C-alpha cells in the first residue's frame, strides 16, 4: 500500500526527515511518499502558521497528481486541517497528533506531550480535545526550542529530558514527541527515561496501515461528507 | 472608532449584507468597513471551506492597506481563523460565533443555535467549546438551507422556526442565528417565537465597541503572541 | 439610557466608588444610578453574607421607585442573586462576575481572577460555572485583603501583583478584578503586568449597554419567567 | 440527639408535614424540631423565592433560641442557603437535595428527580452540581404541580407517575422526590413503579444522624469558616 | 439489623480490625459480621489484586450460609466488585470508597483522600468517578505505606500527616482514610489537623443502616438486575 | 510475532470464532493463539460475570505455559481486567473495547456502539471512559440479544440494523461491534448501512501489531508497575 505523508510546512529537509521516520515505521508492503506544500509557512509555530498550513496542505492534496494512495498521514503536531482532509480525500486520514495520543493511551494511565515552544500548547490541547483523546493527557510541556532548531540533537535531547521530568511530575507515565521534527528521538530518550515514548509519525503510519488493512475509511454520512461543489480560489490571484 | 468586518467568503453581496447588519448595530461614533477576501470559497460550508477561508481572511488582514482600524469582527459562524487573527493584529478581535454565545448566556439559562446545513454543526460545536462558552449551549440545529439560499426570506423564516422548535425542546431559552447570512432575521423570528434571538454580527460589533471603549485588547504574553518572523508564502506561486 | 447599578452591601461609599467606575465606562448617552440596599451586610465576604445580600438586593429593586431604567448591573463579585433579579425585572441584567469573564474570554486563551479573601474563591468558582464561562478560567487567587481594606491603594496594588503572578503561573493570560471595590485598579496593574485586566463593573456596563442597544432582554419562556404571585415577607416583622 | 429541620417557606402546615416525614425517618434516640421562618415566601418556586428563602432561613437559625441541637436539616428541594448555614452553625448541616442524591447514587447507576414546576429544574441542576453529586443524575422532570397543590394526593400521584416514566426513559433506575412537600409519597409510588424512591427529608435525617454519630461536623479551615464579625441588617429597617 | 462486612483480602487479622471499626460505628440495634474470602490476595495493592479480590468477594457472598443479613458493606478502598455485588444480593450494598466520599461532600467544599501506595491512586480515582462522587475530590495522595505495614501506628500517623498536608494544599478541607486498614486513625489525625477525617468503614456502616432503616435497596430495573442463570465456574477446577 | 487472544468466557466455540476474526485481521507475520479460561462464566453478561471473568483471564495468563508471545489482545467487550493484565505481563496489552473506539475516532466525528443486552451499556460506558476515549461516543445501544444467541446470523443482523439506526439518530457516524461474538458482522452491516463498522477484535490485533512493530510496551513507572510479590490464592481451595 502507499501512504502519502504531508508535511505541514514548506521546508523540504523536514519532509525528508519525516519520510525517513515514516519509512522506519512502515511495514514491508508499504510505500511512503512525502509531500511538501508549494506554499505556506517555513515552519508552523503558532495559530497563524497553523491556519496557513492547513489551507496549503489541503491545496497540495487537492492538486496531487502522483500515483494513487491508500491513506494520508498528516505530519504537523497540533496543526489544523485534519477534518478538511477527511472531507477531501476518500482514503483514511490520520493526523500525527491524535495518532500519538491513541497509542499512548494503550501504554499507561496518563500521557504527557513534550513539544517545541510553549505557545504551541494551546493548539495541541485543542487538537487532542476535539480528536476525543484529551482525557488522559496529564500535561503538555514546551522545551523552548524552535522547530528549525531541532537539528541540534544534543540540545534537543537535553531540553526534552528536562521537559519530560515536568510531564512525569504531572502524572505522565508515557510521553509523546510533540513535533514531527522530533521523529527519531523516541528511542534514545525512552531508554534514558525508562518509559515508552511515542512518535506521532510512526504511530500515524501504523494506524493508517491498520485502517487500510481492515478496509476502513472515513464515514461520509455526516460531518465529513464530500465538499460541496462550488467556486473556490486557492491563494491570491496575483502572488506576492 | 473604525471596525473592520471580515467576510469569510468571496461573495461580495454577502459582505454587503453583513456590513448592513453591522452598521445597524454600531453606535453613533463607529464606522464599519467590510472586507471580502480576494480568494477562498464562495461560501463556507464544511471543514475544507472553513480552513481555506481562515487562510484567506488572514491574508486579507495581513495585506490590508486601508485606514487604521480599532477592532476586527470576523463574520463566519463556526469558521476557523479566530486565534490566528488574534496573533496577527494588535486590535481586539471578536468572532461572531463566540460573540453571539456570550450575549446569549446573559439572556437565558441555555441557548440554542439555528444554523444552515447539518454538516456545520460539528464546527460550531468545536468553535463554542474552544471559545469557552459551550457549557450553556442546549442544541445546535440545522435548517437544511445552504448559505447562498438564505436570500429567500420566506423559506428561511419557515425553516428557522421549525429548527427553533427543536432547539427549544432541547432546553434553549434564547436562540442564536447560526450564520452571518441570517443577519436581519433576529427581530421577526424573535417576535414570532417570543424569545430573544441573538445575531452574531450585531453581538460582535457591540463586544468590539465595548473592548475598544475600555481600552482592552488581546493579551500578547501567551498563546496570542505576535507571529514569529519567518518565510511564509500565501497561496500558490502560479494560480490555477 | 439609564443603568441602575446595585451594590451588594450597605456601604454607601462603596456604592459611590462603583458608580464612579461605572460612569467612567459608560457611553455618552448612558446615565448611571447607584442603589445601596437598606439592609444586608456591610460587605459581602462569605456565603452567609452573599445570601443575605442577594435578598437585600432583590428587595431594593422590588421597592425601587426612581426613574425607569433600561438595564441592571449587579456589582458584587461572586455574589448570589443574579437569577432572581432576572425573574424580577423586565430589563436585561448583567452581573459583574460573568461580565468580566465574558470579556476576558475574548482577550486570551485563559483568564485568572484576583480576589480579596481566599474564602471567596468557592463562590466565584460556582458563579462562573453556573454562568457558563468557567471553562477558560485558569485560576482564582486571593490577595488576603478584606473588601473594606481596599481603600489602601498601595497595599492593594502590591497584593494584587503578587496574586497576579500566581494566576499567570497557572496559565492566565488575562486578569479579572475579583471585587467591585477594586474598580479603577485595572489600568495601573495592567500596565505593570503587560496584560489586559478586566474590571467587572466596566465590563457589565458595556454588556448592559450592548443588550439595550440591540433590544435584547431576558428570556421569559423558561427558568426566568416572572415570579409567581404569592405572599412574601421581606425581612423580619419586628426588626432587631 | 436533636435535629432541627428548617422549612424554606413560611407555611406552617408544610413545616408540620415535613416534621412528620422527618420523625418517621428518625432513629429512636432522635428528637426532631421544625422551624418555620418568620419571613420569606409562602412557598419557594423560582430563583427570587429561593434567595429570599435562603436569607430568611439563615435569619431563623441565627436568632434561634430553643434547646441546643446536634444537626440541621434544610428542607427545600433545590433551594439556596446550604453553604451559608454551614458557615453559621457549628453542627453538621444536610440539605435535602444533596441528601437524596447521595443515597440515590448507592441504589442504582443513574437517578432521576421528579419535581413540581418545570421552572425549578435549573435550580435543582445547579444545586446537585455544586454539591458534587450531579454526575449520575439522568434527568430532572417537572410534574407541573405547584408546591401548595401537593395536598391533592391523587393528582400528585398521577402526575408523579407520568413524570417518573420520562425520567426512567432517560436512564433513571432510582427516583428522588424533588420537593419537601412530597414527603410520604415515596412508598406508594415506589411500589407502583417497582424501583426505589428516595425522599430527601428522610435521607437528610439519616445522613445527619450518621454524621452526629460519627462525631463529624463541617470543616472550618476553608470556605466554611465562621462568618466574619461585621455589621449586618437582616431585613428592612421599617417593614412594609 | 445485621450488616455483613466483606474484607477484600484473605488476611483474617485485617477482617477483625475492620469489624472492630464497623462495630464502633454501628448503632445499638446493629449486628456486624465480618467475612474473609477463602481465596484472593493477602492484601489488595494494585489492579491485579483488585480484580482477584472482586471475584473472591463475590464468591464469598455467593456461598455465604450464615444468618440472613440486611446490608453488605464492602471494605476495600478503591477495590473492584461493587456493581457485581449489587447484582448478586437483594440487600443494599455500600462500598467504603463511595461511602467516605458521600459523607465528605457534606462536610466541606472539597475533600482529599490519603491512601497507602501511590500506585493505588488510579483505582481510587476510577472508583470515585464511576460512583458519581469524584467532582469534589481535590486530591488523592499516597503515604508510601503498604497495607500490611499499617500496624505500625506511629509511622502510619506520621506518613498520614505529611500526605494530608499535600491534600490540603490542593484544596481539601476534609480528609478521607484511603484504606480499610486505617480504620481508627480518624480521630487522632483529625484532632491534630483540625479538620474532619472520614473513615470509609464507619461511613459505609452508617449509610447501610440508613438505607435499611428507610426500606431502600438496589434498583433491579436496569444495570443491577439479577445475574442471568448460566454455567459459571468459580476458580480453577484443580487448585494450585 | 505471536499474539495471544484471551476469551473472557469459558465457551470454547466462542474462542474459536474470535481467533478466526483475529487471524483474518492479522498481518502475514503474525501468529494468533486463542486462550479459553479454565474457569469463569460461560458468557459475560453483567457486572458479576465481568468480575469473575477478569480474575479468570488473569489466572489464565498467569499460568500460561505456551510459546512466548509479543502482545495480548483481550476479547471481552466492556469486560474488566485490562489494567490487571497490564501489570501482569511485559508485552503490550490491547482490550477490544478501547481498540474499537480508538479506530472509530479516526473515522468520524462521533461513534456509536451496538451491543447485546441493554444491561451491558453501563460497563461499556465505564470502560470507554476510563480508557480515555468516551468523549466522542454518541450512543451505546443494546440489541436485546444474548451473547450465546449471536450464532443466529439473520436475527443478529436484523437486530443490529435496528439498533444502528438509533445510534445514528444520536449522532454516530461510525459504528462499533459491541461484543466479541459479533466478529465478522462488520462487513455486511457496514455495506447495508453505508458507513464504517469497526470490529474490536480486528482493531485490537492491528493495534497490538502496531505497538510490537514500534517496540512499545506498557509503562512500568506508575500505575502499571509489576504486581507486588505476596501470597495470592486463585480460586477456592476445594472447587464446588
The full set of domains in chain D, from first to last, is 2-95+203-213 (3.40.50.12500), 97-201 (3.40.50.12500)
Kindly report the number of other CB atoms within 10 A of residue F240's CB atom.
9
Contacts for F65 with CB less than 8 Å, ≥ 6 apart? none
Q: Looking at residue E147, what is its pLDDT?
A: 82
Q: Do residues E163 and E141 make contact, with C-beta atoms less than 8 angstroms apart?
A: yes
Mean pLDDT over residues E180-196, rounded?
92
- Which residue in B156, B116, B166 sits closest to B9, CA to CA? B116
C132 touches chain B (CB under 8 A): yes
Contacts for C178 with CB less than 8 Å, ≥ 6 apart? C77, C78, C113, C114, C115, C116, C120, C124, C140, C200
Contacts for B19 with CB less than 8 Å, ≥ 6 apart? B5, B32, B33, B34
Residues of E in contact with D105 (CB under 8 A): 98, 102, 131-133
Q: Do residues C112 and C170 make contact, with C-beta atoms less than 8 angstroms apart?
A: yes
C236 touches chain D (CB under 8 A): yes
Please indicate whether, in this complex, the C-beta atoms of B227 and A58 are within 8 angstroms of each other: no
A129 touches chain B (CB under 8 A): yes
D46 touches chain C (CB under 8 A): yes
Rounded Cα–Cα distance for residues E5 and E34 (Å) = 5
Of all residues in chain A, what percent carry a pLDDT higher than 70? 98
Give the H or E element holding residue F113. Answer: strand F111-115
How buried is residue F157: exposed, middle or buried, by Cβ count under 10 Å (0-12/13-18/19+)? middle
A184 touches chain F (CB under 8 A): no
Kindly report the CA angle at A56 between B79 and F110, in degrees rounded to 5?
50
Instruction: For residue A221, give the chain B residue with the closest CA.
Output: B119
Residues of A in contact with B218 (CB under 8 A): none
**How far does CA B226 lie from the centroid of its chain?**
23
Contacts for B239 with CB less than 8 Å, ≥ 6 apart? A233, A234, A235, A236, A237, A238, A239
Q: How confident is the model at residue E240 (pLDDT cuts 50, 70, 90)?
A: very low
Bridge partners (DSSP) of residue F185 are none
Mean pLDDT over residues F144-170, rounded?
92
The strand pair at D232-233 and C40-41 is best described as antiparallel
D64 touches chain C (CB under 8 A): no
Q: Using CA of residue B148, residue B152, residue B157, residue B163, what is the dihedral sign?
A: negative
Backbone angles phi, psi at D105, to 5 degrees: -60, -25
Three-state DSSP state, B5 = strand
Q: How confident is the model at residue D45 (pLDDT cuts 50, 70, 90)?
A: very high
Residues of B in contact with C223 (CB under 8 A): 108-109, 173
Instruction: For residue B228, give the chain A residue with the closest CA.
Output: A45
Rounded Cα–Cα distance for residues D30 and D33 (Å) = 10
Q: Looking at residue E184, what is its pLDDT?
A: 85
How buried is residue E64: exposed, middle or buried, by Cβ count under 10 Å (0-12/13-18/19+)? middle
Please indicate whether, in this complex, the C-beta atoms of E233 and F10 are within 8 angstroms of each other: yes
Kindly report the number of other CB atoms within 10 A of residue D67's CB atom.
9
- State the DSSP string of chain E: -EEEEEESSS-HHHHHHHHHHHHHHS-TT-EEEEE--SSEESS--SHHHHHHHHHHHHHHHHT--SS--SEEEEE-TT-S-HHHHHHH-SS-EEEHHHHHHHHHHTT-SSEEEEES-GGGHHHHHHHHHHHT--TTEEEEEE----GGGTT-HHHHHHHHHHHHHHHHHTT-SEEEEESGGGTT-HHHHHHHHTS-EEEHHHHHHHHHHHHHHTT-----SSTTPPPPP--EE-B-SS--
Q: What is the pLDDT of residues A171-222, one digit of tens each?
A: 999 999 999 889 889 999 999 999 999 999 999 999 999 999 999 999 999 9
Q: How confident is the model at residue D238 (pLDDT cuts 50, 70, 90)?
A: low
E190 touches chain F (CB under 8 A): no
Please indicate whether, in this complex, the C-beta atoms of A105 and F98 are within 8 angstroms of each other: yes
Place of cell 431585613: D235
Q: Looking at residue F240, what is its pLDDT?
A: 47
**How far does CA E63 lie from the centroid of its chain?**
21
Please indicate whether, in this complex, the C-beta atoms of B121 and A223 are within 8 angstroms of each other: yes
Of all residues in chain F, what percent carry a pLDDT higher than 70? 98
Instruction: For residue B225, give the chain A residue with the closest CA.
Output: A119
**What's chain E's average pLDDT?**
95
Q: Looking at residue C237, what is its pLDDT?
A: 67
Place of cell 480521630: E187
* Residue D221 cell numbers, joined: 479551615
Rounded Cα–Cα distance for residues D97 and D180 (Å) = 9
Please indicate whether, in this complex, the C-beta atoms of B240 and A51 are within 8 angstroms of each other: no
Three-state DSSP state, B214 = coil
Q: Do residues B110 and B172 make contact, with C-beta atoms less than 8 angstroms apart?
A: yes
Q: What is the pLDDT of residues F19-33, one digit of tens each?
A: 999 999 999 999 999
**What's chain B's average pLDDT?**
95
Rounded Cα–Cα distance for residues F60 and F10 (Å) = 11
- State the DSSP string of chain A: -EEEEEESSS-HHHHHHHHHHHHHHS-TT-EEEEE--SSEESS--SHHHHHHHHHHHHHHHHT--SS--SEEEEE-TT-S-HHHHHHH-SS-EEEHHHHHHHHHHTT-SSEEEEES-GGGHHHHHHHHHHHT--TTEEEEEE----GGGTT-HHHHHHHHHHHHHHHHHTT-SEEEEESGGGTT-HHHHHHHHTS-EEEHHHHHHHHHHHHHHTT-----SSTTPPPPP--EE-B-SS--
Q: Looking at residue D236, what is its pLDDT?
A: 78
Residues of E in contact with F131 (CB under 8 A): none
Given a cut of 80, whether residue A239 has pLDDT beyond it is: no
B98 touches chain C (CB under 8 A): yes
Residues of F in contact with A209 (CB under 8 A): 206, 210
**What's chain F's average pLDDT?**
95
Instruction: For residue A120, give the chain B residue with the closest CA.
Output: B223
**Which of D216, D217, D226 would best serve as a mutation to test chain E binding (most E beta carbons within 10 A)?**
D216
Residues of A in contact with F110 (CB under 8 A): 222
Q: How confident is the model at residue F131 (pLDDT cuts 50, 70, 90)?
A: very high
Residues of E in contact with F48 (CB under 8 A): 58, 84-85, 87-88, 227
Given a cut of 70, whether residue D240 has pLDDT beyond it is: no
Cross-chain CB nearest to B228 (options A40, A46, A235): A46
Q: What is the pLDDT of residues E44-59, one digit of tens each?
A: 999 999 999 999 999 9
Q: What is the pLDDT of residues C114-153, one digit of tens each?
A: 999 999 999 999 999 999 999 999 999 999 999 888 888 8
Instruction: For residue D175, give the chain E residue with the closest CA.
Output: E219
What is the nearest CA distance from B81 to chain C, expressed in angstroms?
Answer: 14
Instruction: For residue A79, give the chain B residue with the closest CA.
Output: B51
How buried is residue F235: exposed, middle or buried, by Cβ count under 10 Å (0-12/13-18/19+)? buried
Give the H or E element holding residue B137. Answer: strand B137-142
Q: Looking at residue C238, what is its pLDDT?
A: 58
Q: How confident is the model at residue A240 (pLDDT cuts 50, 70, 90)?
A: very low
D207 touches chain E (CB under 8 A): yes
Kindly report the number of other CB atoms within 10 A of residue F29's CB atom.
11
Rounded Cα–Cα distance for residues E128 and E134 (Å) = 5
Please indicate whether, in this complex, the C-beta atoms of E232 and F146 are within 8 angstroms of each other: no
* Residue A39 cell numbers, joined: 506554499
Q: Using CA of residue F106, residue F112, residue F116, residue F118, what is the dihedral sign?
A: positive
Q: Do residues A163 and A175 make contact, with C-beta atoms less than 8 angstroms apart?
A: no
Q: What is the pLDDT of residues B206-217, one digit of tens each?
A: 999 999 999 999
Please indicate whether, in this complex, the C-beta atoms of A239 and B240 are within 8 angstroms of each other: no
Q: Looking at residue B240, what is its pLDDT?
A: 47
Please indicate whether, in this complex, the C-beta atoms of F214 and A207 are within 8 angstroms of each other: no
Q: Is D touching A (3+ C-beta pairs, cut-off 8 A)? A: no
Integer angstrom CA distances of residue D118 from D100, D115, D138, D144, E164: 19, 8, 16, 6, 43
CB pairs under 8 A between B and C: 152
Mean pLDDT over residues D85-114, rounded?
98
Cross-chain CB nearest to B210 (options C103, C109, C196): C103
Please indicate whether, in this complex, the C-beta atoms of C230 and D84 are within 8 angstroms of each other: no
Helices (H), chain B: 12-25, 47-62, 82-88, 96-105, 121-131, 153-169, 186-193, 200-213
Given a cut of 80, whether residue E61 has pLDDT beyond it is: yes
Residues of F in contact with A203 (CB under 8 A): 210, 214
Least confident of A96-100, B152-156, C37-41, D170-174: B152-156
Q: What is the pLDDT of residues B53-88, one digit of tens each?
A: 999 999 999 999 999 999 999 999 999 999 999 999
Q: Looking at residue A236, what is its pLDDT?
A: 76
Amino acid at each position: 500500500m502507499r501512504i502519502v505523508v504531508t508535511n505541514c510546512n514548506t521546508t523540504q529537509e523536514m519532509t525528508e526527515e519525516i519520510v525517513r521516520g515514516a519509512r522506519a515505521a512502515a511495514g514491508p508492503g508499504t510505500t511512503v511518499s512525502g509531500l511538501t506544500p508549494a506554499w505556506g509557512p517555513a515552519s508552523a509555530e503558532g495559530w497563524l502558521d497553523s491556519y496557513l498550513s492547513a489551507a496549503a496542505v489541503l491545496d497540495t492534496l487537492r492538486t496531487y497528481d502522483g500515483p494513487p494512495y491508500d491513506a494520508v498521514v498528516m505530519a504537523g503536531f497540533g496543526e489544523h486541517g485534519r477534518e478538511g482532509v477527511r472531507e477531501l480525500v476518500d482514503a483514511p486520514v490520520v493526523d500525527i497528533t491524535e495518532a500519538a495520543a491513541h497509542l499512548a493511551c494503550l501504554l499507561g494511565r496518563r500521557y504527557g506531550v513534550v513539544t517545541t515552544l510553549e505557545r504551541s500548547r494551546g493548539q495541541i490541547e485543542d487538537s487532542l480535545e476535539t480528536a476525543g483523546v484529551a482525557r488522559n493527557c496529564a500535561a503538555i510541556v514546551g522545551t523552548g526550542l524552535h522547530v528549525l532548531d531541532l537539528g541540534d540533537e544534543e540540545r534537543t535531547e537535553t531540553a526534552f529530558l528536562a521537559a519530560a521530568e515536568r510531564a512525569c511530575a504531572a502524572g505522565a507515565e508515557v510521553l509523546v514527541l510533540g513535533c514531527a521534527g522530533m521523529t527519531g528521538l523516541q528511542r534514545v530518550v525512552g531508554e534514558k527515561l525508562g518509559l515508552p515514548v511515542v512518535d506521532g509519525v510512526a504511530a500515524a503510519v501504523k494506524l493508517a496501515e491498520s485502517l487500510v488493512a481492515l478496509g476502513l475509511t472515513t464515514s461520509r454520512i455526516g460531518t465529513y461528507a464530500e465538499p460541496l461543489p462550488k467556486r473556490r480560489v486557492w491563494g491570491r490571484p496575483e502572488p506576492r
